[in-house]
Amino acid sequence: MNNNNTGKKIIFAILMIALVFFPLIVGDDSFLVYISTLFLFYFVLGAGLNLIMVTGQLSLGHAAFMGVGAYACALLTVKLQWAFWPSWIIGGALAGIIAWVLGRITLRIKGTYFAILTFSFGEIVRLIFANVPFFGGMNGILNIPAPSFSIPGLFHISFEGKIAFYYLVLVFSLLCFIIYFRIKYSPLGQVLKSISEADFLSKSCGIDIMKYKLFVFVIASIWAGMVGGLMGSFITFISPDSFTVVESINLILINVIGGVATISGPVFGALFLIGIPELIRGAKEYQMIVFGVAIVLALFFLPNGVGGLFELGKKVKVKKKPEH
Amino acid sequence: MELISQLSVNALTLGLSYVLMALGLTVIFSIMGIVNFAHGEIYMLGAFVLYAAITVLHLNFFLGLLAVVIVVGILGIVLERFMFRRFSGQHLNGLVLSLGLSILLQNIALIIWGGEALSVSSPFRGHQFFLFGVPVSVERMFVTGVSIIILFLVYFFITRTKQGHAMQAMSQDVEAAALQGISIKHIGSLSFTLGCVLAGVAGALLAPIFYVSPFIGGMPVFKAFVVIVLGGLGSVFGAFVGGILLGVIDSVSLYYLGTMGDMAGFLILILFILFKPTGLFGYE
């Protein structure tokens, strides 16, 4: 993998330059800026879930952590009139704390039962949001303000404009990407992989697998909570419908399409999730069908996802199921 | 008194439909090792096939039920052969595959029949009789009766026939079963189809009581998860007791808590997986 590293660096640099400068060309009202912000959101969400899925745990309730962050942030800014930043941090921290408690209890459970457990957790959280009047019921919370930043007497930035918000999200997702990259492209990443491939072996090699699983679970949930907070402010309202199991499945879709074992997987996956609805905008009712077909096709023909085509080169081979 | 008997009739109908769903799901899981999230969509398709048979083909209700069995059975054979067989034994990939299929089937139904709730008429609409002075709807009693008959048939099939014994053997050890000359592919296909037919029939039976829409499959499949976890994975008797139990819990909590009542099932699910993963009647 090392021999074509310069090529990858060049691609990365071009991508970065494009991400930084294109809003200045297309202008503030551009739909492209809006879409790109969504793409960055889903990239961070997908990358977080990727870290969990690398350890072999399939979470069907990841959207609930988005919900926790979004509701905490929205309630603090709308009802208590707090500034955005502390509310945002508290939202992310709350998601992390809940993830820590939940992870401590549930991460020892593997496979199907973990998926069903996280699903139940997600549904319970959604039912609470939808039924407890404090959370605004089915209408959710409206008129969430945009963040602003000011040092009195020096300067003031408001993130109400689409481009300003885009840059805020870009900085945030870049920080997340660096953490994600550092985790995957390091001995830690190998440890995480070993947990899913041979957990008893890693355990007997002295690896505290629970610690690592918990670590990535909390990291991913903090990201989800923070994205939730940003997203609520970006779209200006939230409702329980934004954090259903469908959203959690979307995040799994990102990783199935992009490839769990790859580094670039969440990029391709998020591009797919955000790009497809735009490409077939004339036939919106077929969007979910495309998603469903894509999941099935990816499982059959691209076990390492789109990212696998680029990263793993010729090593990609469809593993045949052992004949009974 | 009136309230208690009304609740218990509701609990019985609801519980038995959960049993049908859970039985299908547990058969598929114990034979193929796949938790089929698309099971709820098979339930939904069962309801729609009945709807189409009655409104488009003008069949009567009972021929409609027969049509459901045939159509859903064929669908089950096709899905097993071309989709699930490849992932048999691979828990997580099978689960993701079923999620994809679930999205696919739901949205195909959405395009064909649209999103609004449709109603299916049954010959028992509006009839009721009095049991110990309490009004009982004939419609619900019919569902209850048919469900009990189906459960007995399935129980007989699994415990008394050669094919059923082969299924039991395969659920215990696939390779050992294959060494005894059991055709793994044949039995896998049979159990998947059986599971689908059970789900489809459950959907069709409940269609006249509730309504039909592409989104009705979500809840039943998760109720079925609760039932399976409650009763113990792979246990037919456990699925029966678990289903009735959940039917009671749901009717009571729905009556007192409204939509929050659904939380009871999820809480049970979490507590059982954490503290008693073998359920009430399961084995390790």
Q: What is the mean pLDDT of residues A71-75?
A: 95
- Over residues A207-238, the pLDDT tens digits come to 788 899 999 999 999 999 999 999 999 999 99
Across the interface, do B86 and A321 touch by the CB < 8 Å criterion?
yes
Residues of A in contact with B104 (CB under 8 A): 288-289, 292-293, 296
- Over residues A114-170, the pLDDT tens digits come to 998 999 999 899 989 998 888 888 888 888 888 887 777 777 778 878 888 999 999
Among candidates A131, A288, A299 on the partner chain, residue whose Cβ is nearest the Cβ of B97: A299
B223, B160, B147, B154: which is closest to B195 by C-alpha? B154
Measured distance CA(B57)–CA(B62) in Å, rounded? 13
Test mutation, A112, A114, A138, chain B, max B CBs within 10 A:
A112
Question: In this prediction, what percent of chain A has a pLDDT beyond 90?
Answer: 47
Side-chain half-sphere exposure of A113, counting CA atoms within 13 A: 22
Q: How far is B282 from chain A (nearest CA, A)?
A: 15
B88, closest residue in chain A (CA to CA) = A321
Q: Are A324 and A279 in contact (CB under 8 A)?
A: no
Q: Both ends of chain A: CA-CA distance in Å?
A: 35
Q: What is the mean pLDDT of residues B159-170?
A: 90
List B residues 210-239 in contact with A (Cβ-Cβ < 8 A).
Answer: 218, 222, 225, 229
Chain A CB within 8 Å of residue B112 CB: no
Residues of B in contact with A280 (CB under 8 A): none
Residues of B in contact with A300 (CB under 8 A): 86
Q: What is the pLDDT of residue B282?
A: 65
* Tokens read off for B141: 């009693």
Distance of CA A105 to the CA centre of its chain: 23
Q: Are B222 and B21 in contact (CB under 8 A)?
A: no
Side-chain half-sphere exposure of B52, counting CA atoms within 13 A: 14
Chain A CB within 8 Å of residue B108 CB: yes
Q: What is the pLDDT of residue A231?
A: 94
Of A24-38, A74-88, A250-264, which range is least confident?
A24-38
Q: Which residue has the higher pLDDT, B115 or A253?
A: A253
A–B: how many Cβ contacts below 8 A? 115
- Over residues A282-318, the pLDDT tens digits come to 777 788 899 999 999 999 998 888 888 877 654 444 5
Among candidates A124, A256, A288 on the partner chain, residue whose Cβ is nearest the Cβ of B266: A124
With H, G, I as helix, E, B as strand and everything else as coil, classify residue A238: strand
User: Please, what is the average pLDDT of chain A?
Assistant: 87
**Residue B42 CB partners (closer than 8 Å, separation 6+):** B24, B72, B75, B76, B105, B196, B199, B200, B203, B217
Measured distance CA(A244)–CA(A14) in Å, rounded? 36
DSSP secondary-structure letter at A185?
T
Residues of B in contact with A294 (CB under 8 A): 100
Measured distance CA(B145)–CA(B157) in Å, rounded? 18
A66, A74, A68, A38: which is closest to A248 by C-alpha? A66
Chain A CB within 8 Å of residue B92 CB: yes
Among candidates A117, A285, A289 on the partner chain, residue whose Cβ is nearest the Cβ of B270: A117
Residues of B in contact with A288 (CB under 8 A): 103-104, 106-107, 110
**Amino acid letter, B155:** Y
Quickly state the pLDDT bin for A320 (edges 50, 70, 90): low
Q: Which residue has the higher pLDDT, B30 or A91?
A: A91
Q: Both ends of chain B: CA-CA distance in Å?
A: 41
Buried b (16+ CB within 10 A) or exposed e, A83-111: ebeebbbbbbebbbebbbebbeebbebbe
pTM, rounded to two decimals:
0.88
Test mutation, B34, B35, B37, B104, chain A, max A CBs within 10 A:
B104
Across the interface, do A294 and B100 touch by the CB < 8 Å criterion?
yes
Q: What is the mean pLDDT of residues B22-48?
A: 91
Residues of A in contact with B277 (CB under 8 A): 109, 113
Among candidates A127, A285, A293 on the partner chain, residue whose Cβ is nearest the Cβ of B262: A127
Across the interface, do B35 and A299 touch by the CB < 8 Å criterion?
no
Across the interface, do A324 and B260 touch by the CB < 8 Å criterion?
no
Chain A CB within 8 Å of residue B280 CB: no
Q: What is the pLDDT of residue A316?
A: 43
Residue B233 has pLDDT above 80, yes or no: no
Among candidates A123, A130, A295 on the partner chain, residue whose Cβ is nearest the Cβ of B96: A295
**Amino acid letter, B73:** G
Among candidates B91, B93, B100 on the partner chain, residue whose Cβ is nearest the Cβ of A292: B100
A104, closest residue in chain B (CA to CA) = B274
Among candidates A116, A131, A286 on the partner chain, residue whose Cβ is nearest the Cβ of B273: A116
Residue A1 has pLDDT above 50, yes or no: no
Q: What is the pLDDT of residue A314?
A: 47
Quickly state the pLDDT bin for B103 (edges 50, 70, 90): very high
Across the interface, do A291 and B103 touch by the CB < 8 Å criterion?
yes
Chain A CB within 8 Å of residue B174 CB: yes
- Over residues A44-53, the pLDDT tens digits come to 999 999 999 9
Measured distance CA(A191)–CA(A202) in Å, rounded? 8
* Tokens read off for B99: 């999620």
Of A20-24, A289-293, B20-24, B97-101, which range is least confident?
A20-24
